[in-house]
């Protein structure tokens, strides 16, 4: 069984590298300075995305990030869902380039399921709240 100190260190490290949709949305609303990057492909981006995100597919990060992202600004990346590791690959690529980066666990799926603002190429998408992942207030 790990010691309490080991457990504390482990969870502290996780929080240095992970965030979640509710915390990202709260940071957006508070005006915190960070860049939110959607690392999915073009078809996924066009279908729907987090309001305020920029699009750089994870396979293009090594070439595009130095031109498009300010290295002084923290980055949060996301992919589709907990079943997708594109966010991890994106976070690894950006970390390797020297960016301060976190992965938004849950990805776009949990952002949308929590009823947070999403958009597509045509504009805002309807917001729906999944009672399995968020409190639904009527």
Q: What pLDDT, on a 0 to 100 scale, did the predictor assign at position 137?
A: 81
Q: What pLDDT, on a 0 to 100 scale, did the predictor assign at position 32?
A: 98
Q: What pLDDT, on a 0 to 100 scale, did the predictor assign at position 74?
A: 98
Q: What pLDDT, on a 0 to 100 scale, did the predictor assign at position 2?
A: 77
Q: What pLDDT, on a 0 to 100 scale, did the predictor assign at position 81?
A: 95
Q: What is the pTM of this model?
A: 0.94
Q: What pLDDT, on a 0 to 100 scale, did the predictor assign at position 68?
A: 98
Give every residue of the chain whose pLDDT is below 50, as ranges: none
Q: What pLDDT, on a 0 to 100 scale, did the predictor assign at position 47?
A: 95
pLDDT tens digits, residue range 33-43? Answer: 999 999 999 99
- Residue 10: partners with Cβ closer than 8 Å, 6 or more residues away: 2
């Amino acid at each position: 069984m790990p010691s309490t100190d080991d457990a504390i260190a482990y969870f502290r490290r996780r929080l240095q590298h992970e965030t979640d949709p509710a915390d990202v949305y709260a940071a957006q609303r508070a005006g915190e300075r960070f860049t939110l990057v959607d690392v999915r492909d073009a078809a996924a981006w066009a279908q729907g995305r987090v309001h305020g995100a920029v699009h750089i597919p994870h396979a293009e990060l090594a070439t595009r990030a130095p031109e498009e992202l300010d290295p002084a600004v923290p980055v949060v990346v996301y992919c589709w869902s907990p079943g997708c590791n594109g966010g991890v690959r994106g976070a690894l690529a950006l970390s390797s380039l020297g960016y301060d980066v976190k992965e938004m666990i849950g990805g776009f799926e949990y952002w949308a399921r929590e009823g947070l603002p999403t958009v597509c190429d045509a504009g805002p998408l309807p917001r729906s709240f999944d009672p399995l992942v968020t409190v639904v207030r009527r």
